[in-house]
Amino acid sequence: QVASLADRYESAFDIGAAVEPYQLNGRQGKILKHHYNSIVAENAMKPVSLQPEEGKWDWEGADKIVEFARKNDMNLRFHTLVWHSQVPDWFFLDEDGNPMVDETDEEKREENKELLLERMKTHIKTVVERYKDDVDSWDVVNEAIADGTPNERGLRESVWYQITGDEYIRVAFETARKYAGEDAMLYINDYNTEVETKRDHLYNLVKELKKDGVPIDGVGHQAHIQIGWPSIQQMKDSFNLFTSLGLDNQVTELDVSLYGWPPRPAYTSYDAIEEVRIQAQADRYEQIFNLYEDLKVDISSVTFWGIADNHTWLDDRAEEYNDGVGIDAPFLFDENYKVKPAFWKVID
Ligand code: XIL
């Protein structure tokens, strides 16, 4: 039995993994119990999974994950109450079944906004009331910031934004706090939080929200990163910036792709992956965990977006950019659940 990741970092932060309900058994279940003390649903707690039709709830997958966390005394992150993706279409249809975004009449637009915010509140209330005793950290709003600067504040122009402006963000946090209670930790989660422009847009937003008394406790940094990007300094600056606002930081979706962007050309089999890449990846993991540990007071949790290389959303992206054939291998465990060089760098 090899040393445990969670034990190694016990005094610094939680070590988590994103899972699908079927991964809780067998080999993967064993790895989870040994190496991780925190868990998050990769898809099972997204709006489309929980409330595919208005008022029709499907708790099966989510409940399994909650049960597993309970039984094994693990912390639970909830991902995610509000997002522009993986949210069912019915959320954004008006009373007549037409897309809210198409409405031009001012009065009706106002009605639609109220309707959408009501739906959001109902969703949040129902979910939070069910899981509040089990969840430690909530991703309340995911990916609210745009990659460029489509508007002065850099807010993503999602349907949420088009219909409510930034109100959906405020109301989401207020509703989450109302039902989750004072002790719940509420996060705004995003990717590329290391990139200066995006980071500063997020910073300005969070600062403004805090000033207005919106209950927000921390920033989730997804950290879908690459071997050579972003720099350690960029990561450090970002953590420090949000710490300066009195916020907690969590690393919420860590994976280190073997590729740049776009992921092309991609390896087409695990055997083809060159040793130098795996070594470079290991060195990279060493650097980032050194950083996380130096900053230990400011990071309460580090979650990988998967367990082992046989199951990663990055495969879909490698395929997408390589005519349907391509794999990635971003984790500490390989496709056969064997520890990789990166594992030892993280442990040592
Ligand atoms: C991804 C899942 O890993 C995939 O299985 C799914 O098809 C799409 O979503 N940012 C997020 C996560 O916040 O929810 C995404 O998860 C990855 C990017």
**Chain segment 240-265, per-residue pLDDT in tens:** 999 999 999 999 999 999 999 999 99
Mean pLDDT of 176-201: 98
Q: pLDDT value at position 62?
A: 99
Q: Which of 19, 43, 304 to mutate to test the pocket of ligand 1 (most atoms within 8 A of CB)?
A: 43
pLDDT at 153 over 90: yes
Q: pLDDT value at position 236?
A: 95
Q: Whose CA is nearest to atom 5 of ligand 1?
A: 313
Mean pLDDT of 94-121: 98
Q: Which residues are catalytic?
A: 253
Q: Is the CB of 142 under 6 A from ligand 1?
A: yes
Cis before 230 (ω within 30): yes
Mean pLDDT of 186-191: 98
pLDDT at 102 over 80: yes
- Is the CB of residue 121 less than 8 Å from the CB of residue 171? yes
Query: Which CA distances in Å does 20 have to 87, 251, 318?
Result: 18, 19, 20
Q: pLDDT value at position 297?
A: 66
- Shortest-distance atom of ligand 1 to CA 313: 3
Q: pLDDT value at position 154?
A: 98
For the record, the structure tokens of 54 come out as 């208005």
Q: pLDDT value at position 48?
A: 98
The CA 85 to ligand 1 mean position distance, Å, reads: 9
Q: Distance between CA 339 and CA 310 in Å, rounded? A: 13
First to last CA, the chain: 16
Q: Please give the ipTM for the structure prediction.
A: 0.99
Q: List pLDDT tens digits, range 198-246.
A: 999 999 999 999 999 999 999 999 999 999 999 999 999 999 999 999 9
Q: What is the pTM of this model?
A: 0.98
Q: Which residues contact 342 (CB under 8 A, 6 or more apart)?
A: 256, 278, 281, 282, 284, 285, 286, 331, 332
pLDDT at 1 over 90: no
Instruction: Find residue 226's DSSP bridge partners.
Output: 229, 257
Three-class secondary structure assignment of 88-119: CHHHHECCCCCEHHHCCCHHHHHHHHHHHHHH
Q: pLDDT value at position 298?
A: 84
Token pair 């927000």 in the structure block, residue? 216
- Is the CB of residue 163 less than 8 Å from the CB of residue 100? yes
Mean pLDDT, rounded, of the chain:
97
Q: Is the CB of 222 under 6 A from ligand 1?
A: yes
Q: pLDDT value at position 247?
A: 97
Angular region, 50: left φ>0, alpha ψ -120 to 50, beta rest: alpha
The CA 62 to ligand 1 mean position distance, Å, reads: 16
Mean pLDDT of 150-156: 98
Mean pLDDT of 321-330: 98
User: What is the DSSP secondary structure assignment for residue 155, as one 8-state letter?
Assistant: B
Q: Which residues contact 211 (CB under 8 A, 6 or more apart)?
A: none
